[in-house]
Chain A
Amino acid sequence: MLNIIKSNFWLQLVLLLTIPQLSQAQDNLQTVQEIRKRGELRVASVQEPLYPFAMLKEGRWSGYELELAQLVAKAIGVKLVWDASYPDAAALIDALKQRKADLVFARLKRELGTAQQVNYSLPYIALDFVIVTNRLKVLEKKPTDDTLLSINNLPLHIGTLNTPLYLNKLSKRFPKAKVVTFANIASLTEALEAGKIDAAFCDEVEARNIFLDKPERGLSLRYFALPEINSELAAIVDWSDTHFTAWLNLVLEPVAGMTRAVELFSKHH
């Protein structure tokens, strides 16, 4: 056999070209076995806790995404290592590419920019978008009544997170709005409370947390559901792990899309 290889230049060339590809294919098939061999599933997430997905209490993480990650770890038969040391989505994608994490659970909304770089799992929950208004600021604009219908036509300054997904949905739903962008929900909430903007556009979990943190905000702020606009959260896996993605989807299939945000709030509260 060795002699055949030695004497055939073209065979050598073919082997040289195909070995890396074969090993790549093998990687895809072996991801679950590798995790099992390692004895731990490395799940990456963001530093910032968000109720009820991932909460930090007395140094321990808990929440719905932890439960899902535990489900995956249990299916493989390994322990879960939850690494919430990443600042944002870009760092999480990088962690997958650097092979520092096997998958990411970080309430990431499916969007087309990220889909060009990673594989999304089945969505595990769909979140509606909402608009939270500053009652006084909206009254200053003299709406005809206090319904969402009248707000639609007001030239409001609406704040939202600086992501293509949020900006796209906001501009489609409120074409007359003057859009103001914020880096995070904390700064968006602060601006809304201070009356620097008239309203905030965010998802229902982010909005519920605004009121959960300080229930007295209900006196100055008002919550309008926008059930016609929603977005789905999914785990992400590196694009090369196609087989692992299919396997992960089988694990998530029984729970995918079966829970609503309101149920999570009542369960974890």
Chain B
Amino acid sequence: MLRIFILSILLVCAVGGKAFGRDAAAVSPTHPPDIQKIKDRGQLIVAMLSRDIIPAVMSDSNGNMFGNDVDLAKAIAKELNVEFIVDRTAQTFNGVVDVVASGKADIGLSSLSRTLARAEKVRFSRPYVVLRPVLVMNRIAASKYALDGSLARMAGFSGLIGEPKGNSYLEFAKTVSPKATLTEFGDWDETFKALTEGRIAASFRDEVGVRNYLFKYPERSVELSTTAIDNPSMSDGISIAVNSQNLHLLGFINLYLEMNYPTRKAEDLFRIYAQYYKK
């Protein structure tokens, strides 16, 4: 048995060709393993949220997908000369990250914010969209607590702030308002309903999310006031999640974004996808 084992080791060394130092005969494969795997499969598998998000991920009545993130993912697949395949099993943003981390998808896009917790599971590309965080307040609560929309006021605020469970803005709210009590809700609709009803005083969300909400429920701007936070160091970088093993794919995607995709802001998205914000 030992002889077989030693022979096997020698065989592996001979085949691998580089077990004990690099030599001139050791040839590196044409593509890195992560890119080769995608090319062999002929498909780039992209994790996306199960529900549509304007303007990132949208579908027409025939189920054809389009939108900012869909178009970007398709362009990357085209550049790799493979088919675009979507995995929409994830119910939440964190779920998209989990699908990528599990290896079921090569990359994930769905207006994903970078957070340190997510970065423990996946790698993030350079941001392709940069959004401002928005402080959304219940007008009566804002008056009661003398919240003027400034971060200085929010830093000392000790009331109730609400965010959806597992959302990137939970971390953000903890940083901006460390004295506040954080309440977690099921999703944004629940969070903003509680905000409208005054059960919580404030919430933080990205500017596209806030606009989408007020587009859906315009009457709620009576109860809610919004203040965009114009601090670049606090901006929300929307990025592509890449499986942590796919380092060369990550490098390729970053180069793609650098060469072909000037970072977009909310106003760019609102302009490009203006037709989807019309009733």
Given that A16-B9, A99-B23, A115-B252 are known contacts, is A6 also in contact with B30, CB under 8 Å in the complex? no
- Residue B231 lies at the interface, judged by CB distance under 8 Å to chain A: no
Residue contact B28 to A34, C-beta cutoff 8 Å:
no
What 3 pairs across the A-B complex have the smallest Cβ distances? A20-B16, A239-B32, A23-B19
Residue contact B5 to A6, C-beta cutoff 8 Å:
yes
In the complex the two chains form, what is the Cα distance from A16 to B5 in whole Å? Answer: 9
Q: Which of A1-57 contact B (CB under 8 A)?
A: 2, 5-6, 12, 15-16, 19-20, 23-24, 27, 30-31, 34
Q: CB within 8 A of B252: which of A2, A6, A96, A116?
A: A116
Q: Which of A100-147 contact B (CB under 8 A)?
A: 100, 110-112, 115-117, 119-120
Given that A112-B259, A115-B252 are known contacts, is A99 also in contact with B5, CB under 8 Å in the complex? no
Residue contact B5 to A12, C-beta cutoff 8 Å:
yes
- Residue B279 lies at the interface, judged by CB distance under 8 Å to chain A: no
Nearest CB on A from B130, distance (A)? 22
Residue contact A119 to B30, C-beta cutoff 8 Å:
no
Residue contact A116 to B8, C-beta cutoff 8 Å:
no
CB-defined A-B contacts under 8 Å, sample of 15: A20-B13, A23-B18, A23-B19, A27-B18, A31-B22, A97-B27, A98-B24, A99-B25, A99-B26, A99-B28, A100-B24, A116-B35, A116-B80, A120-B255, A239-B248
Q: CB within 8 A of B22: which of A99, A112, A120, A242?
A: A99
Q: Which of A134-187 contact B (CB under 8 A)?
A: none
- Residue B222 lies at the interface, judged by CB distance under 8 Å to chain A: no
- Residue A238 lies at the interface, judged by CB distance under 8 Å to chain B: yes
- Chain B's interface size range is 20 to 34
Nearest CB on B from A66, distance (A)? 24
Nearest chain A residue, comparing its CB with the CB of B32: A239
| Residues of chain B whose beta carbon lies under 8 Å from any beta carbon of chain A | 1-2, 5, 8-9, 12-13, 16, 18-32, 35, 79-80, 247-248, 251-252, 255-256, 259
Residue contact B247 to A242, C-beta cutoff 8 Å:
yes
- Residue A240 lies at the interface, judged by CB distance under 8 Å to chain B: yes
In the complex the two chains form, what is the Cα distance from A27 to B27 in whole Å? Answer: 13
Q: Which residues of B contact A96 (CB under 8 A)?
A: 28
Given that A97-B28, A239-B248, A240-B28 are known contacts, is A19 also in contact with B5, CB under 8 Å in the complex? no
Q: Which residues of A contact B5 (CB under 8 A)?
A: 5-6, 12
Question: How many residue pairs at the A-B interface have CB separations less than 8 Å?
Answer: 83
Q: CB within 8 A of B251: which of A19, A27, A34, A115?
A: A115
Q: Which of A80-101 contact B (CB under 8 A)?
A: 96-100
Tell me if A's interface is mostly helix, strand, loop or mixed: helix
Q: CB within 8 A of A112: which of B2, B79, B248?
A: B79
Residue contact A110 to B22, C-beta cutoff 8 Å:
no
Nearest CB on B from A10, distance (A)? 12
Nearest CB on A from B241, distance (A)? 20
Given that A2-B2, A116-B80 are known contacts, is A20 also in contact with B259, CB under 8 Å in the complex? no
Residue contact B28 to A238, C-beta cutoff 8 Å:
yes
Q: Which residues of A contact B12 (CB under 8 A)?
A: 16, 19-20
Q: Which residues of B contact A20 (CB under 8 A)?
A: 12-13, 16, 18-19
Residue contact B28 to A19, C-beta cutoff 8 Å:
no
| 19 further A-B pairs in the complex, CB-CB below 8 A; given A5-B5, A115-B252 | A5-B2, A6-B1, A15-B9, A20-B18, A24-B16, A30-B22, A31-B22, A97-B29, A98-B24, A99-B22, A99-B25, A112-B79, A112-B252, A115-B255, A116-B248, A117-B31, A119-B251, A120-B251, A239-B248
Nearest CB on A from B135, distance (A)? 38
Residue contact A110 to B259, C-beta cutoff 8 Å:
yes
